[in-house]
Structure 1
Amino acid sequence: MMLKLNRLFFALWPGEAQRRACDEAARELRLKMQPGGYLSSPERYHITLLFLGDTVSPESEQAALRAAARVKSAPFALNLELASSFRANKKIPWWLGPRETPPGLTQLHERINEAMLSARVLPERMKFVPHLTILRDAHLPLPVTPIRPIAWNVDEFVLLRSRLDQKPMSYEVLGRWKLDGDGEPPAPPPQKQLGLF
């Protein structure tokens, strides 16, 4: 039985100011380095938090939406300060990313992952390397290159569906959740001291 294609993933979804700044950085790097390939569309910019798979069932999709609504994490500042690339066979993607991953981003990734496992939605096992892809199919790798920092105050995360049936491919936002708490469990009540009488 053929499983229906339904590619879903949790992501950070930039605002318009961040999209414009990332697009400017991408165009400057392309002009300077002449890497070939093609620029990613700014409308598709995102940072993947957790990939759920290519054939997520309707039941798992609904379970993921319910579980995501229970994720509690604090907003955080994210600065995109570097550009570099991954080696992926002959196709080389270029990306923008932080110099260091903010603790708030690591926490958010972990809490979404925990929520999915609790809901029996099994994500793909991938190393979490936060990055925003700006160019695909480059003919040469990009060494780590500083860029003009792009400030991003992250206060939400989204669940996206890849619309591979559309040309060009686009993303559909299925759910959007605010980061409005630190998600730390409340401190236990103090224990009463039992005196000896």
Structure 2
Amino acid sequence: MSEQLRFDFGTTSLGTRPPSRGRTPVGKPDMLMFRLYPGQDVPIASAVCRTRRAYGLTAKPYDADQRHVSLLSIGSYEGVTLQLIGDAAAAASQVRSPAFDLAFDRIVSFRNGRPKPLVMLCGEGANKVVELVNRIAKALNGFGFGVRLRSGFVPHCTVLRDDRLVPEVSLDRPIISSMREFSLEHSTNGGRLRLRIGRWPLLG
């Protein structure tokens, strides 16, 4: 097993189209997702608190362990197998991408979904997120996943969901978060339950 990999099969279990090897999607599918976790709990929580007061939002902000930057979904499945998870993990262990700093400098409501997601947008480092997504996709395709990236990917971190809309506003100062690893997660029941399967350090 690669030294890069910290792996947990505890309870076995940006967008992309489902891989060619995937099973038929169902109403509340199992999903495999790659994500980044920014940390920086106090600065992000403070920015969200100020925004809620300024725009009269009532929704509860996400906890620190819920806030993430989505990288790549590798499909919806009616259940996942150890073989599938193992192949995704093996692909992830081959990704070589340097660590980088990600600057959240704006906050805005996206208009998709209901309630609307309030997100923090990235300035500096956003291109590094896109590069990481491309490298993960290439590694997955080497294992036969058939990932096809969609255009228009905007790196962001969702902080809450509320019916009221917030226009794009700049933060008083950027919140800098050091990205040192990426994760693979298995989500079930429409995303309500999540299991972090593995984590890999970002190494140049």
- Report the TM-score range of the alignment, normalised by the length of the smaller protein: 0.7 to 0.9
Which structure 1 segments of 5+ residues have no match?
Answer: 182-197
Partner SS for 1:29: helix
Which aligned pairs between 1:145-156 and structure 2 lie closer than 5 A? 145-147=169-171, 148-156=173-181
Alignment counterpart, residue 104 of structure 2, candidates 50, 72, 80: 80
Checking the alignment, whether the CA contact within 8 Å between 1:97 and 1:132 is kept in structure 2 is yes
Compute the RMSD of aligned alpha carbons: 2.5
190, 194, 199: which is aligned to 1:171? Answer: 194
Residue of structure 2 aligned with 1:64, choices 82, 85, 88: 88
Q: Which residue pairs with 2:154 in the alignment?
A: 129
Tell me if structure 2 keeps the 8 A contact 1:12–1:48. yes
Separation (CA, whole Å) in 2 of partners of 1:131 and 1:6: 23
Correspondence for 1:188: none
Give every structure 1 segment of 4 or more consecutive aligned residues whose post-TM-superposition deviation is greater than 3 Å: 1-5, 100-103, 122-127, 163-166
Corresponding residue for 2:167? 143
Counterparts of 1:100 and 1:2, CA distance in 2: 38
Pick one of 39, 49, 69 that aligns with 1:27: 49
TM-score, normalised on structure 1? 0.78
TM-aligned CA deviation for residue 79 of structure 1: 0.6
How far did residue 86 of structure 1 move? 1.0
Q: TM-score, normalised to structure 2's length?
A: 0.76
Q: Does 1:8 align with 2:40?
A: no
How far apart in 2 are the matches of 1:53 and 1:30?
Answer: 34
Q: 1:91 aligns with which of 115, 136, 140?
A: 115
Report the AA paired with residue 90 of structure 2.
R
Structure 1 Cα separation of the partners of residues 43 and 146 of structure 2 = 34
Question: How many equivalent pairs are there?
Answer: 176
Alpha-carbon shift at residue 125 of structure 1 (Å): 4.6
Cα pair 1:20 1:42 within 8 Å, conserved: no
Instruction: Report deviation, 1:102.
Output: 3.5
Deviation at 1:140, TM superposition (A): 2.4
Report the secondary structure of 1:157's partner residue. Answer: strand
Aligned letter for 2:61? L
